[in-house]
Every structure is written in C-alpha cells, then in structure tokens.
Amino acid sequence: MDTIKEIIQTLHNAGDAEIAKHSSRFFKSGPGEYGEGDKFLGIRVPVIRQFAKQFKCSDLETLSALLDSDWHEVRLLALVILSEQFKKASPPVRDDIFAFYLAHTDRINNWDLVDCSAHIIVGGHLVEADKTILYTLADSISLWERRIAMMATFTFIRANQLEDTIKLAELLLKDKEDLIHKMCGWMLREMGKRDVQRLKAFLDKHIQTMPRTMLRYAIEKLPKEERQDYLTR
C-alpha cells in the first residue's frame, strides 16, 4: 500500500520548474483568473498517466486526500486513477465512484480536471440512468460544475442520445464564462456529427443570441459556405 506522502513525494520528484511556470500561466492561476491560486509541479500529462498506472489501486480515502492537495497535478493524478477505476468497476462500485466524484467537485477546479473525467464518470453513470442531476449541475454557481454537466453529455452523444446536449446548451446560452461557451460549442459540434439537421435547427433558432465562440466551435465541421453563412447572419 502506497501512502499518500509517498505518492505526493513521487510527483514532487518528477516536477520541472520550467513546465510548472508555463502551466501556471496556461491554466490561469493569477489573481482574478479562473484558476486563481492553483500551484503546479510541472509534470506533463503522459507522465501523470504513467503514475496513474503505478498507483491504480489507491482507495477512495487515498484519492480524497490527493484531491485535497494544493498541487494541480496531484489532483489530476487522483482523477485519472478514479476514471480508470470507474471504467473497470462493477455497477455498485461505479455508484460509489460517481457519488464520490460529485462530493468532490470543489476540487475538480480547472478545465483539464473536468475534461479528463466528467464524461467518463458522470457521463458513464448517467447514460443509462435518470439525468435530472445534470440540470442541477448546469444551474450551479460553480463554473466547473456547469462544465461537468455539459462534458458528461459527450458520453450520451456517443450513445446517440442527443437531447440533453441541446437542452443544456439552451440553458447555458447566456452563461457569462468563455469556458462554458467553448464547451457548449464543442458538444454541439460533436452532436452535429451524429445529426447535422439537429445542429442546424439549434443554430437557426439561437443564432441571434448565441455567444460568438459557441457558434464558431459549433459550425467548425460544416462546409465552408454554410460556415460563412452562419457567421454573416
């Protein structure tokens, strides 16, 4: 059994000051920015994924302690391990992991932490279940809970369930955060790969009020002329 201290020490040893400096800027950890106060060890994602294999058997208590870390990569490690465990878990264990995830959203507090896990754990749990909780998350004051809600629909889209992506995008249409505009545009685009008529219906309905970034992401896979048409309407 690896102790929490051993895991954190292992990550500390793998850190690189230059990468940490770059990550700190890239993930907006400055005052007033969305990642305010976050601290970085400077470890690239593929290296974290290697460590996740090494520590894949960590229990929820250990993962909870890792999520409590001030270090961004320690939290990322915990979420990669948790996501991998979810994929291989039995239904009752999946229930536990899902509940654990929702109980720790305050520590899933940057876009990469959401994007590596929400579609696997929240999407994976809800794809064959009641999805009401998504609308609670989408209504949260937390930017990250709202992003988790939309990211979860990635799994629904892959299962050809397109309805929730549209409903959530409509709920989030007036969101003030650029990171939500991007996420909605991304999922709308993915939805459009399955049903382009449905995407166009959404665009025709909302083009006057959609944030520009959401629109641009959503139309990215349309033919050039159609893209141009939507951009100049």
CB of 155 closer than 8 Å to CB of 163: no
Grouping H, G, I as helix, E, B as strand and the rest as coil, residue 71 is strand
- Which position among 111, 144, 156, 202 is part of the footprint of DNA (CB under 7 A)? 111
x-marked contacts with DNA along 210-229 as a string, rule CB under 7 A: --xx--xx--xx--------
| Smallest distance, DNA to C-beta of residue 212, A | 4
Q: Residue 223 is encoded by which pair of tokens? A: 């033919």
- Which position among 2, 12, 26, 103 is part of the footprint of DNA (CB under 7 A)? 26
| Smallest distance, DNA to C-beta of residue 85, A | 16
Q: CB-wise, 23 or 62, nearer to DNA?
A: 23
| Smallest distance, DNA to C-beta of residue 210, A | 10
CB of 216 closer than 8 Å to CB of 185: yes
Task: Match 């294999």 to its residue by tokens.
Answer: 53
Beta-carbon contacts of residue 153 (< 8 Å; ≥ 6 apart): 119, 123, 134, 164, 165, 168, 187
| Smallest distance, DNA to C-beta of residue 233, A | 11
Cα 35-41-44 angle, rounded to 5 deg: 90
**Can residue 158 be called a binding residue for DNA (CB under 7 A)?**
no
**β partners of residue 47:** none
**Can residue 178 be called a binding residue for DNA (CB under 7 A)?**
yes
**Can residue 28 be called a binding residue for DNA (CB under 7 A)?**
yes
How many chain residues touch DNA (CB under 7 A)?
Answer: 27
Task: Give the alpha-carbon dihedral of 145, 100, 39, 71, to 10 degrees.
Answer: -160
| Smallest distance, DNA to C-beta of residue 75, A | 15
- Which position among 25, 174, 205, 233 is part of the footprint of DNA (CB under 7 A)? 25
